[in-house]
Amino acid sequence: MITSKDVARLAGVSQPTVSRALNDHPKVSAATKQKVREAARALGYAPSAVGRALSTGRTTRVGLVVTDLDNQFYSYVIAPMHDELGRLGHELVLVTEADETGPIAERLISLGLAGVVLATTTVDSILPARLQDRGMPFVYFNRVAGVEADAVVVDPSAGVEALARAVADAGHKRAAAIFGPHNTSTGEERERAMRAALEEVGISLSQRDVVHGPFDFESGRRGAHELLGRDGAPSLLICANDLVALGALNAAAELDIDVPGRVSIIGFDDLPPSRWALVQLSTVAYDLEAMSREAARLIVSRVQGDRGAPARRVAFGTTWVPRATVGPSPR
């Protein structure tokens, strides 16, 4: 490995001068900087992030902590977050959190992460408290938990209220729903917003027409088979997110149930596949890409700046995007 010592030798200066020159320290003469840069280039020198990290006590790595990396939702988060982190001189490390909330905090510290983005926190997770105790900066992404911290979240209300008015106008009277898990803030908040909005417009949501499940395709598929398979099913199926709705849409295809002829289906997130001509899912949209970038900016600013600053919360608004999966109520 080529180190700053090698560069120093070639440039005829001391090793600390190499460090200062390459970091563009103001008190290094232009001539020396020039000499050092040339030597570095000649040797193909690449400063070691490991050496720097040990010396400064800080790295430029940010962890994205998720439980289920194969949930497709995150694939739409990773690219913009990675991109924004790169722009800010940081790297993205993926970390999956096993079910046991055991040594994960220690692991994050061990890895030498500068900070982490928590994307799948459950409300009962002890991880946020652990991180706070250990002084590891973090930001909540999409979901929040008990401990006060920076957060990027979605405010469902505007989109959900518009949605409710639209389906009421389309004549729907009874809805079914596949909601998210009870132990996630997102699941709970959307469910609450949706129930309130439906009630407001006089659409009923009977307990027997509601199921809960994870935010994934299979949950939607299974839930739809259960809810739509029986006679007298509601004319409207509301889903916890787009992946759930895509699962439900496919279940409808499997059951040969016409959408939106017999049932209207609604998602939440507006992921790219929802916009496909083949899909045209009606959904509640927000700017997921901007949200991912914002999380990157928040964690970097927290890592670099004042750790004691008050927690910031950035909320993204939602809009209702009607497409082909919602139609007039058949009854």
Asked whether position 42 contacts its own copies by CB under 8 A, the answer is no
Asked whether position 54 contacts DNA by CB under 7 A, the answer is yes
Pick the piece of the chain touching its own copies (CB under 8 A) from 106-114, 140-148, 170-178, 187-195: 106-114
Distance, CA of 117 to CA of 77 (rounded, Å): 11
- In this structure, is the dihedral angle defined by the CA atoms of residues 281, 287, 290 and 295, taken in order, positive or negative? negative
Reduce the DSSP state of residue 130 to 3 states and report it.
helix
Distance, CA of 219 to CA of 81 (rounded, Å): 26
Binding-site partner at residue 29 among DNA, its own copies, none, CB < 5 to 8 Å by type: DNA
Site map for DNA, 24-43, x if CB under 7 A? -xxxxx-xx-----------
The string of DSSP letters for 271-305 reads -GGGGSTTT--EEEE--HHHHHHHHHHHHHHHHHS
Per DSSP, what are the bridge partners of residue 62? 92, 115
Pick the piece of the chain touching its own copies (CB under 8 A) from 166-174, 246-254, 297-305, 310-318: 246-254
- In this structure, is the dihedral angle defined by the CA atoms of residues 113, 114, 115 and 116, taken in order, positive or negative? negative
Reduce the DSSP state of residue 45 to 3 states and report it.
coil
Cβ proximity to its own copies, 191 vs 242, nearer residue = 242
Candidates 309, 302, 300, 313; CA nearest to 62 is 300
Distance, CA of 216 to CA of 247 (rounded, Å): 8
Cβ proximity to DNA, 20 vs 221, nearer residue = 20
Asked whether position 129 contacts its own copies by CB under 8 A, the answer is no
Asked whether position 182 contacts DNA by CB under 7 A, the answer is no
Binding-site partner at residue 319 among its own copies, DNA, none, CB < 5 to 8 Å by type: none
Residues within the interface to its own copies (CB under 8 A): 1, 44-51, 53-54, 57, 59, 61, 69-70, 72, 74-76, 78-80, 82-83, 86, 91-96, 106-107, 109-112, 134, 217, 246, 249-251, 253-254, 272-273, 276-279
Residues within the interface to DNA (CB under 7 A): 1, 3-5, 13-17, 19-20, 22-23, 25-29, 31-32, 45, 47-48, 50-52, 54-57
